[in-house]
Homo-oligomer: A and B are copies of this chain.
């Protein structure tokens, strides 16, 4: 079985996390994960880039500690490491997610 490297919360780096979240494609991934796309394969995400570019972005997110990736067959199940992020950078993910939702949509 193939496994993937994940940093532990103590090794999270603010630079890496902010750089990761600064890219629009990666924010799309994070937003879709937060919108109930938990445990979906990379291919299930709607992204405006090719397959190898997609791989690249998922890896950047994983190496920053923002997502967890688990092999299941030939696919990878992706999930947000919301709790881990919050222990190290409290409120950061929530603020970025809320900001990414659009200007001010009180619904």
Q: Which residues of A contact B (CB under 8 A)?
A: 10, 14-15, 18-19, 21-22, 24, 27, 88-92, 94-96, 98-100, 103
Q: Least Cβ distance of A94 to chain B in Å? A: 7
Q: Least Cβ distance of A64 to chain B in Å? A: 11
Query: Copies of this chain, how many?
Result: 2
**Contact indicator B92/A18 (Cβ below 8 Å):** no
**Contact indicator B15/A18 (Cβ below 8 Å):** no
CA–CA, A90 and B92, complex, Å: 11
| Set B22, B27, B91, B96: member contacting A94, Cβ < 8 A | B91
| Residue ID in chain B nearest A17 by CB atoms | B99
Contacts of A99 in B (CB 8 A): 14, 88-90, 92
